[in-house]
Amino acid sequence: MHRLVLSLLLSLLASLPTAALADDFDATLQAAQRYLLLYSATGDERFLKRLERLDEAFQGQVAEQHNGETLQDIWSLYGETVAQVESGYEQSGPALREALAQALEVSALLQEFRLQPGAAPGDATLAANLQRLALLQAKRANHRLLGEDTDTLREAIADLQQTIETQFAALPASVEGEAMRARWRYLRLTERPAGTLLYPFNAQVEYLLEKLGENGPA
């Protein structure tokens, strides 16, 4: 994405009266990043299909925002950069690296609309921390493309896992609570020294997020 376009967008963001966005909006943005990163790591177009299905949720979440039109414009721009990632994947190498960096940069612009930063991992809900963990693992799978430091990512993941472990332990001793703890144990089994098994990991995350959504915040 041309630097001039991004500069203009940032200038527009600075001139708008921002408002705190709902947690489900953050969840949508993180899912959009995660699916893109999972695609760039695997080439599996099913992740792009899941990303496309987020559009309806996104449109509903910004419909009543005072800056909804601008949010929609940036979301459309994100869609264009996702298409560039898909094209870059076929070429691999620098083309994919540049396209992925541009897509994540545009996605990050949407976060600029938050009036306040998100909660720290220790204060966030279990669902929010699972979303963060899933995104970090997806970034770790792309660390070479992103130029991320693996040690830093590993430490962040380990700290977040410890927080999540505590949150799961605090769930009620009910059938539902035990079932979710079992799923968390299955999720941990997907972690390998060489890297996380992305498909089963993502499946467990999505199952847990769905169940937590049904049962309310934890």
Question: H or E element: which one contains 171?
Answer: none
Task: Give yes or no for a contact between 139 and 115, defined as CB atoms under 8 angstroms apart.
Answer: no
What is the pLDDT at residue 24?
Answer: 82
If one counts the domains in the chain, the total is 2
Same domain, yes or no: 56 and 124: no
Q: Give residue 116's Cα distance to chain centre.
A: 18
What is the pLDDT at residue 42?
Answer: 94
- Number of Cβ within 10 Å of residue 55's Cβ equals 14
Mean pLDDT of 80-96: 90
Same domain, yes or no: 164 and 57: no
Predicted confidence (pLDDT) per residue in 115-158, tens digit: 445 555 557 899 999 999 999 999 999 988 888 788 899 999 99
Task: Give yes or no for a contact between 83 and 40, defined as CB atoms under 8 angstroms apart.
Answer: no
For residues 1 and 196, the model is more confident at: 196
What is the pLDDT at residue 215?
Answer: 63
What is the pLDDT at residue 79?
Answer: 95
- The answer to whether residue 182 scores a pLDDT higher than 70 is yes
Predicted confidence (pLDDT) per residue in 162-173, tens digit: 999 999 999 999
Same domain, yes or no: 95 and 141: no
What is the pLDDT at residue 61?
Answer: 86
Same domain, yes or no: 172 and 97: no
Q: Which domain holds residue 169?
A: 119-218
Of 117, 149, 168, the one marking the end of a domain is: 117
Same domain, yes or no: 141 and 214: yes
For position 66, which CATH number holds? 1.20.1440
Same domain, yes or no: 124 and 84: no
Same domain, yes or no: 61 and 103: yes
Task: Give yes or no for a contact between 101 and 3, defined as CB atoms under 8 angstroms apart.
Answer: no
Same domain, yes or no: 154 and 213: yes
Same domain, yes or no: 5 and 70: yes
Same domain, yes or no: 126 and 92: no
Of 117, 140, 159, the one marking the end of a domain is: 117
Same domain, yes or no: 148 and 112: no
Q: How far apart are the first and last CA of the chain?
A: 39
Q: How far apart are CA 170 and CA 215, in angstroms?
A: 15
What is the pLDDT at residue 118?
Answer: 54
What is the pLDDT at residue 6?
Answer: 57
Average pLDDT across the chain, whole number: 85
Its pTM stands at 0.84
Same domain, yes or no: 176 and 140: yes
Of 58, 91, 117, the one marking the end of a domain is: 117
